[in-house]
Amino acid sequence: MKSVSSILPLILDKVTFEAGGKRLIKEVSCVLEAGPRSVIIGPNGAGKSLLLRLCHGLIEPTGGSVLWSGAGGKDPSLLQAMVFQRPVMLRRSVAANVDYALSLRGLPSDERRERVADVLARTGLRRFADRSARVLSVGEQQKLALARAWALRPQVLFLDEPTASLDPAATLAVEDVIAAIHATGTKIVMTTHDLGQARRVADDVLFLYRGRLFEHSPAGVFFETPRSAEAASFIEGKLFWRHKEIAS
């Protein structure tokens, strides 16, 4: 495949998102570079999913800007993909689910066939190729969702709590697929509320709480010497979104 220059870094400048009269994301500024796996952590309701949707362009900020600074004239939307916590599978075979995603990008059938075979082999789903996607276990469905996104060969893959519905074994299997995708050069930007997962997966950590980005640090620095009291108490398992209201 022809190499394409990177649309990264992704630069967020004072990104704000308001809905229903509330500021849900508050002046988030950060730079996401090509390479390291960036993991957005924070308790439920912190704004992780919203921030990911803002990055991916599914929603528009009400203030500030989201800039793919390497994109030049290219359309960045074709070079990124997203996988959700509960993926929606078409009522078709496993292979057809991947093929359909590729057909939406207008790829010719021989290229599609090659990519479908490739990602199903890499994700361990080849033996399910002709099975209905809807009868797969949730863990297998999540692997299929990753395969479907991987087949697009995105430069950036956004993952929104991809293992939140899975048991520990399925979680590790999905983390293995994420590692394999990263190893092919795709930038991973993932959310999780699971600290153990963040420790396993993250190269850099963005800690979000109540819509604010409290810190963005290399994972080792974040876990050893968090700068904010909020991050320190989250790492100790003491921080909940509403703890202040509950306490008062």
Chain contacts with ligand ADP (rule: CB under 6 A): 19-20, 24, 42, 44-50
Whole-angstrom distance, CA of residue 196 vs CA of residue 200: 6
| Minimum distance from residue 189 beta carbon to Mg ion (Å) | 13
Partner whose binding site includes residue 4, from Mg ion, ligand ADP, none (CB under 5 to 8 Å by kind): none
C-beta separation of 227 from 210 below 8 A: no
165 interacts with Mg ion by CB under 5 A: no
Q: Which is nearer to Mg ion, 49 or 233 (CB)?
A: 49
Give the residue from 112, 156, 213, 140 showing the smallest Cα distance to 8.
Answer: 156
DSSP-based helix, strand, coil % in the chain, nearest 5: 40, 25, 35
Give the H/E segment covering residue 41: strand 38-41
| Minimum distance from residue 60 beta carbon to ligand ADP (Å) | 12
Q: Which is nearer to ligand ADP, 51 or 133 (CB)?
A: 51
Q: Which is nearer to ligand ADP, 20 or 72 (CB)?
A: 20
Whole-angstrom distance, CA of residue 236 vs CA of residue 16: 28
Whole-angstrom distance, CA of residue 248 vs CA of residue 181: 45
> Which of the residues 30 through 69 are near Mg ion (CB under 5 A)?
48-49
Partner whose binding site includes residue 24, from ligand ADP, Mg ion, none (CB under 5 to 8 Å by kind): ligand ADP
Q: Which is nearer to ligand ADP, 227 or 242 (CB)?
A: 242
Sheet holding 10-19, edge to edge: 22-32, 10-19, 63-68
| Minimum distance from residue 165 beta carbon to ligand ADP (Å) | 14
**Structural tokens at position 49:** 């999913």
SS3 99: helix
Partner whose binding site includes residue 76, from ligand ADP, Mg ion, none (CB under 5 to 8 Å by kind): none
Q: Which is nearer to Mg ion, 85 or 93 (CB)?
A: 85
Q: Which is nearer to ligand ADP, 139 or 211 (CB)?
A: 211
- For Cα atoms 198, 202, 207, give the angle at the middle one, nearest 5 degrees: 65
Partner whose binding site includes residue 20, from Mg ion, ligand ADP, none (CB under 5 to 8 Å by kind): ligand ADP
Point out which residues bind Mg ion (CB under 5 A): 48-49
